[in-house]
Structure 1
Amino acid sequence: MTTEKPNREDLEQAERARKALETSQLHLVRAKSLAKDIDRIKRVNGIAAALNRRLGTTR
């Protein structure tokens, strides 16, 4: 195991990798939030369709 200092390119590459990871984590959080919103919309649409059927109305 050597104790040489990392060079500038290695440090820059590590910083780019850190930023990319941070960005992908943020995208994952947003995607999970959107998935929850979609599930909520589907549930509401299902309830609305059931009510429409019960009331005898069609779209």
Structure 2
Amino acid sequence: MPGLIHVKELWQDQAALDAHFASAHIAAWRAAWPGLGIGERDLRVYEVGAPRKT
């Protein structure tokens, strides 16, 4: 799909993610969306287990 961007991030815990979303730089980023042509977002959170050897 043209213009689709996938962003993947790893957060230590929910509290760290919540702090990130409440930060000033994220508020500024969200405020810039209309001027950048960014419309909807589809945020999904996945729980990931501990890494293991294959």
Q: Provide TM-score, normalisation by structure 2.
A: 0.29
Between Structure 1 and Structure 2, which shows a larger proportion of helix residues?
A: 1
Which structure has the bigger radius of gyration? 1
Q: Provide TM-score, normalisation by structure 1.
A: 0.28
